[in-house]
Amino acid sequence: MLNREDMLELTRRMNLARNCFFRIAGSYRDKDGFDDGSFNTSFLKLDQRDKIEKLEIAKAVIFAETNKEIKEYDFCGRDKQIAEFKNMLEALKECGLKNDALLDVLYDIVSENYVREFHPQGDFGIFMFYGSYDIKIKGADKTYMDDSEEVYSFIICAVCPVYEDYDPGLPECGFLYPSFKDRSVDDAHIAVLGNTGFLPCKL
């Protein structure tokens, strides 16, 4: 089960003053899932309007109602597809989203499944975020200390409707990997927003 306080702790690092993201990438698709352009850049190079817009998208994935709209799924098991998907996410996290070839594979898989399961009425975008959070030690009085316990590196995927001028709406589905549990990394789980049908395996 996801902990609401853990999710809120992450969202507090998703604003202009306390931004936790280093890189953002994405692919724009038409309603049939065909590629209509992609990008991959440093998050810090975005102008302020784009930063605010994209932060709201990332935040919406994990700010969703915990254990109802966003749920935790187990990666453990012997299913080959699940293992391959986890390995792909781990590789994307380790390279900080700097592997365009691997991103293209993910975009195609997500797009194909999204079109089949969600039946989009218009264009949509697949947005990927890479960030890290230096987890501060929390004292007995629940105040944060200067020292950190560990660094939580993660990726977020958000699939959103896209309108004129590539203007995205809020995500219909997405995920956070690895899961953030008990204020620590949990790479045995993934937190998924919405129907898991857009993923390449059954969790």
pLDDT at 136 over 80: no
Measured CA to CA, the distance from residue 130 to residue 98 in angstroms comes to 10
Measured CA to CA, the distance from residue 150 to residue 136 in angstroms comes to 8
Average pLDDT on 133-154 reads 73
Q: What is the 3-state secondary structure (H, E, C) of 74-123?
A: ECCCCCHHHHHHHHHHHHHHHCCCCCHHHHHHHHHHHHHHHHHHHCCCCC
Contacts by residues 174-179 (CB-CB < 8 Å, ≥ 24 positions apart): 174/61, 175/61, 175/199, 176/61, 176/62, 176/70, 177/89, 177/93, 178/93, 178/154, 179/2, 179/72
Determine, yes or no, domain membership for 203: no
pLDDT digits (tens, 9 = 90+) for 144-156: 556 667 899 999 9
Q: State the pLDDT at residue 144.
A: 56
Determine, yes or no, domain membership for 22: yes
Residue 129's nearest CA partner among 48, 35, 33, 61 is: 61
Q: In a 3-state reduction of DSSP, which class is residue 6?
A: helix
Q: State the pLDDT at residue 35.
A: 96
Measured CA to CA, the distance from residue 133 to residue 154 in angstroms comes to 8
Provide CB contacts within 8 A for 132, sequence distance 6+.
20, 22, 151, 152, 153, 154
For the chain, give the percent of residues with pLDDT over 70.
93
Average pLDDT on 168-182 reads 96
When divided into structural domains, the chain yields a total of: 1
pLDDT at 93 over 60: yes
Give the CA dihedral 176, 180, 181, 183, nearest 10 degrees.
Answer: -160
Q: State the pLDDT at residue 149.
A: 74
pLDDT at 130 over 90: yes
Average pLDDT on 153-176 reads 96
Q: State the pLDDT at residue 160.
A: 97
Measured CA to CA, the distance from residue 5 to residue 10 in angstroms comes to 9
Determine, yes or no, domain membership for 187: yes
pLDDT at 20 over 80: yes
pTM of the model: 0.93
pLDDT at 165 over 80: yes
Q: State the pLDDT at residue 47.
A: 96
Band of pLDDT at residue 62, cut at 50, 70 and 90: very high
**Domain containing 89: what range?**
4-198
Measured CA to CA, the distance from residue 97 to residue 104 in angstroms comes to 11
Measured CA to CA, the distance from residue 124 to residue 203 in angstroms comes to 24
